[in-house]
Structure 1
Amino acid sequence: MAAPTQAPATTSNTNVMAILALVFAFVFSPLGIVFGAIAKRQISETGEQGMGLAKAGFWLGIAFTVLSVLWVVFVFVLAASSGTSA
């Protein structure tokens, strides 16, 4: 009698890098981008859970990084324009 074939083992663990991506998207957004990209690659290779967290961390990291850069540019322009008016 032949042994039944088994499906490949899938883990129900959530990828740690995906969790870190979402956390760092709010704390230090460039790391959210990096961790999100790493987590997406790891999840596709290992089959772990957390693809939504990885995508959210990645895209929120991009959004917050862009907003931060725009804020710095705004403050710089505002400071430069207030210094030149007499």
Structure 2
Amino acid sequence: MAAPTQAPATTRSTNTMAILALVFAFVFSPLGIVFGAVAKKQIAQTGEEGMGLAKAGFWLGIVFTVLGVLWFVLVFALALSAGTTTT
């Protein structure tokens, strides 16, 4: 008796935008937000892998963008207060 043949295993590819979302969350966080949102939409339509990467890139992008804005405001406020003199 011949052994039954098995169909080759199909592998779903990881969404490229999801990978870019996670990378850009650390490099330039606003792009992490954009790529994460686009990747989540693409994954929902195509069924690709990478939803976790997309969500992580999206949320890390938000967190790092907020932290960056707060840092900018803090530095700006300190620069203004250091530049003023009282007489």
TM-score range, shorter chain: 0.7 to 0.9
Matches within 5 A, 1:53-64: 53-64=53-64
Q: Normalising by structure 1, what TM-score?
A: 0.86
**Larger Cα-atom Rg:** 2
Distance 2:85 2:75 in 1: 16
Which blocks of at least 5 consecutive residues in structure 1 are unaligned?
1-9
Deviation at 1:83, TM superposition (A): 0.7
Structure 1 residue 71 corresponds to structure 2 residue 71? yes
Structure 1 pair 11–38 and aligned structure 2 pair: CA distance change class (3 A): farther
Q: Once the 2 structures are TM-superposed, how far is the Cα of residue 85 of structure 1 from its aligned partner?
A: 3.0
Query: Identity of aligned pairs, percent?
Result: 78
Amino acid at match of 1:37: A
Deviations 1:36-64 (A, max 9, x none): 00000000000000000000000000000
User: In structure 1, what is the equivalent of residue 15 of structure 2?
Assistant: 15
Partner of 2:4: none
Residues in 2 aligned to 1:65 and 1:11: alpha-carbon distance in whole angstroms: 34
Which residue matches 1:6?
none
TM-score of the aligned structures, taking structure 2 as reference length: 0.85
| Alignment root-mean-square deviation, CA | 1.2
2-structure distance, mates of 1:11, 1:35: 23
TM superposition shift of 1:11? 5.4
